[in-house]
Amino acid sequence: GAVVSQHPSWVICKSGTSVKIECRSLDFQATTMFWYRQFPKQSLMLMATSNEGSKATYEQGVEKDKFLINHASLTLSTLTVTSAHPEDSSFYICSARVLAGDYNEQFFGPGTRLTVL
């Protein structure tokens, strides 16, 4: 399957700082990537859809000024958590969409655990 990487795998930061998370498709080009958030013992919650060369589309309730997404190339999308606060602590996962005939498949990165002190 397609390989997606994320960096960093974990990060600890102070409240009020900004943190950037990178998502890369390693062996394929991805015009569309997705960013998810996962709380402990819960399922994945879609935050936003990242489209190469255009603005990201955010799910209802997700602050676009808080979670900045940039998809500047066909293999890289970045999520920046601005002015992070303890409630932003979570497991952030990206995925890249791969067309598979009549349906799409998503391949996920290994996730980034963010802890805001």
Partner 1 sequence: TQLLEQSPQFLSIQEGENLTVYCNSSSVFSSLQWYRQEPGEGPVLLVTVVTGGEVKKLKRLTFQFGDARKDSSLHITAAQPGDTGLYLCAGPKPNFGNEKLTFGTGTRLTIIP
Whether the CB-CB separation of 18 and 82 falls below 8 Å is answered with yes
Interface positions, 87-106, toward partner 1 (CB under 8 A): 91, 93, 95, 97, 100, 102-106
- Identify whether the C-beta of residue 56 lies closer than 8 Å to the C-beta of residue 72: no
> Least CB distance from residue 35 to partner 1, whole Å?
12
Restricted to residues 15-74, the positions that interact with partner 1 (CB under 8 A) are 32, 34, 41-46, 49
From residue 24, give the alpha-carbon distance in Å to each of 32, 36, 60, 106, 111. 11, 15, 25, 13, 12
**Which residues are near partner 1 by CB under 8 A?**
1, 4, 6, 32, 34, 41-46, 49, 91, 93, 95, 97, 100, 102-111, 113
